[in-house]
Every structure is written in C-alpha cells, then in structure tokens.
C-alpha cells in the first residue's frame, strides 16, 4: 500500500478538532459510540475505525486518500489533488 486514508487526520480536519482529540477511544466517544471488542486488538481496532468511517460518510465527509509513500518518505496528499486509479464502485445491477 503506497496510498491510504489516515482516518485520524481526516476526522480532525472534518470535525475541526485538535490532534489530541483524535485517539480512537476519544473519536468514538465524541460520536456517541462505545468501543467494541478488546483494546489494541488489530481486528477490533479495525472494526471500530470502520464504524468511524461510516459515521463520517453519513455526516457528509468525502473519504479521500490523504497520505502516501513516495521515495521512502511519508507525504501528505492535498485534498484538491484528483483521485487516481479505478472509478468508484457501483452498486450491482440485478436483472428481473
């Protein structure tokens, strides 16, 4: 993976909160959610991050790549940069 969405950074920018308010448990708490699972379990952390991402989408956030690796260096991706790669997924169409 050379490009990804840093949810902590996106959350802070979208909800206009400082970086110290972007820890996983604090983000969940501010969104009115409880932590599900065991703390520091990779699977449970991932599920909770997904719940935050879903809520952000519901609140109108545009989830976009905001970090990448280039030449071994971590780089921030501007939100004005067009997305590269495949088009957005479409809902499957069912035949009657």
Per-residue pLDDT reduced to its tens digit, 42-75: 999 999 999 999 999 999 999 999 999 989 999 9
- On the question of pLDDT at 88 being above 80, the answer is no
Its pTM surpasses 0.85? no
Interhelix angle 7-15/42-58, rounded to 10 degrees, is 30
Which CATH code is given to the segment(s) 3-76? Answer: 3.30.420.10
């Amino acid at each position: 993976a050379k490009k990804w969405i840093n949810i902590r950074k996106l959350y802070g920018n979208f909800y206009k909160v400082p970086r110290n308010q972007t820890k996983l448990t604090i983000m969940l708490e501010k969104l009115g959610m409880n932590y599900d699972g065991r703390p520091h379990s990779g699977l449970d952390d991932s599920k909770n991050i997904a719940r935050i991402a879903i809520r952000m989408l519901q609140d109108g956030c545009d989830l976009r790549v905001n970090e990448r690796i280039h030449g071994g260096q971590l780089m921030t991706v501007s939100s004005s940069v067009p997305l590269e790669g495949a088009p957005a997924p479409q809902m499957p169409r069912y035949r009657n």
